[in-house]
Amino acid sequence: MNTARTDASMPTLPDGVTLEEVRGADVLVIDVPAARGVLHLDGAHLTSWVPAGESDLLWLSPDSAFGAGEAIRGGIPVIGPWFGPGREGDMTVKHGWLRNVRWELTAASLEGQDVVLELMTPKDAAKLTATAVVRIGSELCVDVTITAGAEPLELEAALHTYLAVGDVRRIAIEGLENAPYLDNTRGLAADVLGSEPLRLTGSTDRIVDAHGEVVIVDEVGSRRIISTPRGTAKTVVWNPWDELVTSMADIPDASWTEFVCLEPAVAKDRFVALEPGESHTLGATYRIEH
């Protein structure tokens, strides 16, 4: 059961936004005419966006952990300041620490029919600061700005977005045609995508050298999901398939068909070099069409 609560340290929440406790975690619940959503303060992690008249854009594992220090499985994890195990492969915390710390809500407002929420990493966070702006309405906009601290930073970052689909075996991904990619299922082997929309046929983990708009044609769900990135250089496509899902404790074995991860990123050879005090913003806008 969700429990509404208050926090005097937070800015005043606008109508349609409440602070609640869900499975032991503090979340902001958004319920306005244009859309509903759920944003966890842990990780600045959006786990639901349901525009009016639609089903959820985002997939969330029913077996996910929640709360302090946990990496939520599903929604939109904020990845950084490195990707995977880092470019040298020596980082012990996969995908960095931004998704594992509690962010602070710094502003909340209504702009027209949209709810706009701004969050920041803790002031004692090491080596960098990050801010996130989430706009929830008939479209979803997520932007993350990362600023280097006192030392230069070779930044990798991504929005590790889990998109809900009717059946991942019956989707087509448009917008990545003829793009070079690194195949993480084959030791980062270099390859090139074909000239037709991408269809997944097995375990997929491709870091694609593309940064334009991508469309997922969801045949079973009878909808098109459009992802328009900004400030990015790569698009990562991931699904474990039945080959790998059994080794993942926080995804039910039968649930791999329900999502595809489409991740706008700056990663690998396309990291961003920041001098002290410099910033980089990456983000994406999502919408659903029929």
- List the domain boundaries for the chain: 3-169+242-283
pLDDT at 1: 44
Give Cα 260 distance to the centre of its chain. Answer: 12
pLDDT tens series, the chain, 290 aa: 455 666 767 899 999 999 999 888 999 999 999 999 999 999 999 999 999 999 999 999 999 999 888 999 999 999 999 999 898 888 888 999 999 999 999 999 999 999 999 999 987 666 899 999 999 999 999 999 999 999 999 999 999 999 999 999 999 999 999 999 999 999 999 999 999 999 999 999 999 999 999 999 999 999 999 999 999 999 999 999 999 999 999 999 999 999 999 999 999 999 999 999 999 999 999 999 99
Location of structure tokens 């046929």 = 201
Please, are residues 195 and 178 in contact by the beta-carbon 8 Å criterion?
yes
Cis peptide before 81, with omega less than 30 degrees from 0?
yes
pLDDT at 22: 87
What is the Cα Rg of the chain in Å?
Answer: 18
Query: Is this structure's pTM higher than 0.85?
Result: yes
Phi and psi, residue 98, nearest 5°: -60, -35
- Residues with Cβ within 8 Å of residue 2, at least 6 apart in sequence: 20, 21, 22, 29
Q: Look at residues 128, 132, 93, 176 and name the one whose alpha carbon lies nearest to residue 272.
A: 128
- Residues with Cβ within 8 Å of residue 282, at least 6 apart in sequence: 143, 144, 157, 158, 159, 229, 230, 231, 232, 264, 265, 266
Instruction: Report the distance separating Cα 239 and Cα 245, nearest Å.
Output: 9
pLDDT at 83: 94
pLDDT at 60: 98
Instruction: Report the distance separating Cα 249 and Cα 275, nearest Å.
Output: 39
Instruction: Report the distance separating Cα 54 and Cα 175, nearest Å.
Output: 24
Strand ranges, E, within 149-239: 153-155, 157-159, 161-164, 171-174, 180-183, 189-192, 204-208, 214-218, 223-230, 234-239
- Domain at 3-169+242-283: CATH architecture: Distorted Sandwich (2.70)
For residue 207, the number of C-alpha atoms closer than 13 Å in the C-beta half-sphere is: 24
In degrees, to the nearest 5, what angle opens at C-alpha 72 toward C-alphas 67 and 73? 150
